[in-house]
Chain A
Amino acid sequence: MTFWSQALEIARVDLSVERRVGETMRVVLPFAVVSLLVFPIALGLQVSVVGEIGPAVFWALGVLFGMQVALRQSAADSPERRDLQALVGVDPAARFVGRTLSGAVLTFAFLMALFIAMVVFYGPSLPPGSVPALFLSSSLFAIGLTELGTLAGEITAGIRNRTALASLIVAPLALPLVIGASQTLEALVRGESILPWVLLMIANGLALAVLGVALAKPLEEAAR
C-alpha cells in the first residue's frame, strides 16, 4: 500500500462518513447562514451599508465555522482506530494528507454555499473577476485552514476537550489565511494585483503541509 493510496482511502472514508452524518452541510452550514443574518441586525446597519460589509462578514464566518469543519467530530479517530491504523501500517503522514484532502473538499463546499448565501442576503457589488478570484482564494483558504485544523487535531488527539483546545490553536494561526483571503477580494475592488495575497496563502499552505507531514509520526509516537 503506497503513501498516496492510504491517504486517498482515508479521504474517501472521511467523505463517505460525512455524506452519512452531514455534520458540515446539515449542521455547521445552517448555523453559519443564520449568523450571516444576525450580523446586520445586531449592528443596526442601513441597507446601503450592508452590501459593503458582506465580504468581510463572509470571511469572518468562514474562518470561525471553517474551524468547526476542520475539527469536525466525524474526522476524529477513536484511540482504538488509531491503534488499528498503526497495526495495519498506516503512515501517520498519509493520515494527515488524507484528512487534509477530505477536510479541504468539505471546507471549500461550505465556503461556496456560504458565499452564495452572503450574495443573496447582503447583495454586495462585486468587481469583475471576483468569481475566479473567490474560487482561488477559497481553495487556498480551505487547504490552509484544514491543514491547521488537522495538525491541531493531531496535537490534541485523545484530550477530552479536544475541539475547544484545538480551536484555540487554530484561531490565531489562521490569521495569515484570513488576511490573504479577504485582501484578495479587496485588491480587486481597489484595482490592484491579487498576486501578493495569493502568494501569502500558497506559502502558508506549503509551510503547514511540510510541518504536518514532518510532525505526523513524532506526534503519533509521543501520544503512546
Chain B
Amino acid sequence: MNARTLSATAISARGLTRRFGDLVAVDRLDLDIERGRIYGFLGPNGSGKSTTIRMLCGLLVPSAGEIEVLGHALPAGSEPLRRRLGYMTQSFSLYRDLSVRENLDFIGMIYGLRKAARAEAVRRALHEFELEDQRRQRAGTLSGGQKQRLALAVATLHRPELLILDEPTSAVDPQSRRDFWDTLFELAAGGATVLVSTHFMDEAERCHRLAILDRGRLVAEGRPADLKRDIPARVVEIETAEPERARQRLLGEPWIASIAQMGNLLHALVARQQAAPAAAIEAVLRAAQIPAAAEDAPANLEDVFVAATGFRKR
C-alpha cells in the first residue's frame, strides 16, 4: 500500500459531468467520500445515480471532470481499481443457468483465487449470506431476496476495499432489506467503504452520509441528522377531519411549499421566513371553515428531499 491509498478519502470527484447527446445526465458533481463509511445516493429515477456510479466504477467515461477512486485517477486507472472494487449492478447480472455455487466459483476464478483459497471463499460466502441450502439451485430460480444476497456475496467474494451498490434493495421484501443493511454495517465495520444508491427514505436515513441528487445535480449533502436539522423550511403537521378540502385550500397559499396527506394527518412544508407557521395555517383553515389543529413538527428525510429538489408542488 502506498501513501495515497492510505488517505482518508475513498472517492473524490470534481466537476463530474456526463452528457448523452443533448441530455446532461450528471451535471458538475463534486463528491468526497470517506473510507469505512456507508455513503448514500438518494434521488428519484433519472436523477443521475446510476450514471454517476458507473463513472465511479470506470464503466463510463465522464464528459468532463476528474475522479479519483482509492488513489486511482479514472478512467486511466480503471483496471488496477477493479481488483479492489466490488460492484453490484442494479438489475440481476449473474448467470441464471448456473447454480449459486457455480456463480461464486466462476467469479472466484475471475478474481484469480487459487483452488484452495477459492473453495474457502465460496464456503464462507455461502455461510455468511445464508445460501448454503440453495448452493445447488440455479440462480434464475432464486427469490428476490436470495438473488440479492447472491449478488452481494459475489460482489464481496474477493474482499474489496470499496463496495458500490446500485439500488440493491429495489426488488426485495422489508425483512430482507433490514438483513441486507445489517450486512452492510458489518462490512463497513470491517473497514470497507460502501457507496449505495437508493430511492427509499428509510435506507437513506441509515447512511453515515448522504448526497441528494436531482436531475443530475447535487442538491444537498451531509449527515442525515444535519440535513434534517438544517432544512431550509419548517414542517407543520395538521390534524383535520377534512384532509382533502384542507389540502386543496392550503395548496393555494404561496408560502406553503408542499403538502402531503398521511391518513388524517397533513404534512406541510412551509417557507422558512414564515413566522409562526402553525398559527398561520390554522388561521387560513378557520377562515375556510375547516376545523383543524396544527403544530410544528421535526423534519424527516423526505422533507429534506422535497426542500432540496426545489419545492415542486405535489
A and B found bound together: no
